[in-house]
Amino acid sequence: MATISTSDFKNGMTMELPEGLFQIQDFQHVKPGKGGAFVRTTLKNARTGAVIDRTFRAGEKVESAFIEKREQQYLYRDGTGYAVMDNENFEQSTVSEEAMGDAGNYITEGSTVTFLMYGDEIIGTDLPASVELAITETEPGIQGDRVSGARKPATLDSGLVIQVPLFVETGDRVKVDTRTGEYQTRA
């Protein structure tokens, strides 16, 4: 493992600490009038998502963690998780629901998923900001029922249920925000 100094910190950098694997969300170098300089950081646990604040002395060394992005194709869902195929060596494996996380709500068979890998461990997924999905089931809009901002539930082809405007019909393709799970627009 490579060590990095606090002067090399950048947002998004991942490091191995005694408490676990953490990603830098925000950092600030502070030089008070008295005493030594220090670096105040906000760190996100890569495995659990918990956020902590931690202060390091200026020049302190920490272990850097190498996170690899690996693209895999989602094939199908079985009883134990998600069957995926590596795009480089075509090996198939099963990814648990815990490792897939919320990404399972936004993928369909045949789509590509980018996994964040630490060694052989999946610590997360890298999704685009929005995805296009088809609506498989929703109630038809009633003529004359055009109240501004009214919503109705709709089931997407991934199985996720979201709220959509009344004019959206079954079979329409919609854009969904992967960060919030909300309808954005018709595609």
Lookup result for tokens 């490091």: 15
Q: Looking at the structure, do residues 121 and 138 belong to the same domain, yes or no?
A: no
CATH number at residue 30: 2.30.30.30
Residues 11, 125, 175, 161: is their CA dihedral positive or negative?
negative
Indicate the helix (H) or strand (E) that contains 27: strand 20-30
Nearest one of 72, 138, 142 to 107, comparing CA atoms = 72
Q: Looking at the structure, do residues 93 and 138 belong to the same domain, yes or no?
A: no
pLDDT for the residue numbered 12: 86
Of 108, 126, 144, the one marking the end of a domain is 126
Identify the band that residue 181 occupies on the pLDDT scale cut at 50, 70 and 90. Answer: confident
Give me the domain span that covers residue 45.
3-64
Strand order in the sheet with 161-165: 161-165, 151-156, 130-138, 173-177, 183-186
CATH number at residue 149: 2.40.50.140
**pLDDT (mean) for 57-81:** 89
Of 81, 103, 126, the one marking the end of a domain is 126
Q: Looking at the structure, do residues 111 and 142 belong to the same domain, yes or no?
A: no
Enter the pTM of the model: 0.73
pLDDT for the residue numbered 155: 92
Q: How many domains does the chain have?
A: 3
> What is the DSSP secondary-structure string of 104-162?
GGS--TT-EEEEEEETTEEEEEE--SEEEEEEEEEPPPPTT---TT-EEEEEETTS-EE
Residues 159, 165, 170, 172: is their CA dihedral positive or negative?
negative
Residue range 86-139, pLDDT digits in tens = 888 888 888 888 888 888 888 888 888 899 888 888 888 888 888 889 999 988
Residue range 132-180, pLDDT digits in tens = 899 999 888 766 666 667 788 999 988 889 998 888 888 899 999 888 8
Q: Looking at the structure, do residues 25 and 54 belong to the same domain, yes or no?
A: yes
pLDDT for the residue numbered 2: 84
Indicate the helix (H) or strand (E) that contains 84: strand 81-86
Q: Looking at the structure, do residues 60 and 72 belong to the same domain, yes or no?
A: no
Q: Looking at the structure, do residues 45 and 77 belong to the same domain, yes or no?
A: no
Whether the per-residue pLDDT at 83 is higher than 70: the answer is yes
* Coil vs helix vs strand at 99: helix
